[in-house]
Structure 1
Amino acid sequence: RFDGFMIDVINDISGLVGFDYRIRPTPDGRYGHKLPDSTWTGMIGDVIRGGADVAVGPLQITLEREKVVDFSKPVITSGTQLLVKRPELPYSDIKDLMNQDEVYVGVVRDTFQEKSVERMQSLSGFGLWDYVKRKNSFLDSYEEGITQVKNSDGKYALVVDQTDGAFITGKHCDVALFGELFNSINLAFACRKGSGICDKLSQGILSMRETGRIKLIYDKWFHSGVC
């Protein structure tokens, strides 16, 4: 029922360090962000409340999250990039894109990518966040954004995680990743604070790095598409 890069990784780790697990979906389908009342949504919220011992997904390690959960060693490094329609684009780079009023840039609400674009503007003055707000191009799901990109004739771009984008472009040959990475982030498993579970996961991750197993799994999911 469940598959994916992180599922394959934790399945291998379970054999290496010796534990059994059962996977269930997070009710709201989110990775997890902090609400104004200091509660958390998504996988992070499930782990905090004891509904799960481990959050199995490409979770970014942040200082805010580290206050409420433990993290394993990073599984992979990723970043934020734009997903666009192939083959011809009416712009040469992101700054050129923002000078063309007919082009929209979509951002999925309550995701790291939304925070990343907002934070990038506050740190560097790069105006993509203002551009997205002016266009009011916020979305409720990546599926909605991918559809917009595919039907856009080059006039819609979606902010995505690089690893998600690599998976999408391997399956959908009419879209591509565009431009440089906005940032570099470490992705890992999250565990109930003080449980010691992430220490065991980290042992497995380090072993898999040494043998090249993580790279093999990464290539299986992100470099073996039909495109």
Structure 2
Amino acid sequence: YQGYMVDLLDLLADSVGFSYRLVPVYDGQYGLLKGDGGWNGMVGELLREEADIAAAPMFVTKRRKRVVAFSQSYREVSASIVMQTGSATALKVTSLRSLLRVDPKVTFGTPKNGAIARSLRKSNDSAVKAMFARMSANPELSFPADHEEGLKRVRRDPMYAYVLQDAIAEYWIRREPCDLMIVDEIEVSEYFGLAARKGSRLVPKLNKGLAKLKDTDVLDKLYFKWWWQGDQCHDTLGKRTLTIRSGSRQLQRYRSLGQRVSVTSDCIVAVIFAMFCVALNY
């Protein structure tokens, strides 16, 4: 395995002293509450003591915090609006507000039950409210099953604007065929954290290691390594992306992403959410 999260786990292991092994999460899910009261995904494996740490781009939510313990955040998450680079509409706009004004035919989308949709639904921003109202009026097109389907719709339809986590968007706009662009960002006040069982002695260790990595800008350097150094689209997208995202704001984006981990005596079994293991290559 290789990727941002593997590097992060290696750094934490060296910093606070543990060993680990990586195991893919069985069902490929982060963790949702099921109808029978149980949990699937990484959260379920933590609760069943099949894993010791869930290390993934997993949102810290109130519902998850009731059953597992989270470390301090290792990434603050924003939402990015992605459109085709060849979209005449996208080239005319520099913000969500201008996108709403320029063309009422633009369809917006985001996964229906995800944390981004939840944040958009709760937003008090008038532009975000207007965007989510369009989504709710056209649910069949606006709520794809996952990011793969959402990005396929963007590539098929120049009038489709897809809203997803900034780190995923920033990765894909820098990968061939270089046909995607970010037109704006939305603050959503969501965070990624590492998870462990309630009462786990690992959480204070993880917090100590993460604090040290933040203070020394190591997380920013990791983000640069896995997102920017592999940029395949400098000539076609670089200038446009830099213009939209702007200098100081861009530098703040250098923090990020993930896997799942479990501990057996002194060995931590890290269960990886594979999509993010090899630099988000699904």
- Specify the TM-score bucket, using the shorter chain as the normaliser: 0.7 to 0.9
Pairing partner for 2:190 from 178, 185, 193 = 185
**TM-score, length of structure 1 as denominator length:** 0.86
CA contact (8 A) 2:78 2:185 kept: no
Q: State the shift of 1:89 in Å.
A: 4.1
> Is residue 194 of structure 1 aligned with residue 194 of structure 2?
no
Q: CA-to-partner distance for each residue in 1:179-212, whole Å, 9 max, x for gaps?
A: 2323232221111111121211112112222322
Pairing partner for 2:220 from 215, 218, 222 = 215
Give the secondary structure class of the aligned counterpart of 1:13.
helix
Q: CA-to-partner distance for each residue in 1:122-173, whole Å, 9 max, x for gaps?
A: x456133332122122112211211221222x21121110111111112142
Letter in 2 for 1:44: V
Equivalent position of 1:82 in the other structure: 81
Structure 1 runs not aligned, ≥5 long: none
**TM-score, length of structure 2 as denominator length:** 0.71
> Is residue 55 of structure 1 aligned with residue 61 of structure 2?
no
CA contact (8 A) 1:44 1:69 kept: yes
2 CA distance for matches of 1:119 and 1:38? 25
1 CA distance for matches of 2:33 and 2:191? 19
Q: State the shift of 1:102 in Å.
A: 3.3
Q: How does 1:110-189 map to 2 (within 5 A)?
A: 110-120=113-123, 123-124=124-125, 126-136=129-139, 137-152=142-157, 154-172=158-176, 173-189=178-194
Give the secondary structure class of the aligned counterpart of 1:198.
helix
Letter in 2 for 1:31: Y
Relative contact order, higher structure (CA 8 A, sep 6+): 2
Equivalent position of 2:111 in the other structure: 108
Equivalent position of 2:26 in the other structure: 27
1 CA distance for matches of 2:33 and 2:117? 13
Equivalent position of 2:268 in the other structure: none
Equivalent position of 1:206 in the other structure: 211
Q: CA-to-partner distance for each residue in 1:73-117, whole Å, 9 max, x for gaps?
A: 211222112111115442634345456453222222432122222
CA contact (8 A) 2:32 2:40 kept: yes
Residues 8 and 110 (structure 1 numbering): CA distance in 2 closer, same or farther, change over 3 Å? Answer: farther
Q: How does 1:4-19 map to 2 (within 5 A)?
A: 4-19=3-18
Letter in 1 for 2:65: E
2 CA distance for matches of 1:191 and 1:144? 31
1 CA distance for matches of 2:6 and 2:175? 19
Equivalent position of 1:226 in the other structure: 232
Identity of aligned residues (%): 26
Give the secondary structure class of the aligned counterpart of 1:117.
helix
2 CA distance for matches of 1:118 and 1:41? 24
CA contact (8 A) 1:82 1:158 kept: yes
How many residues are paired up? 223
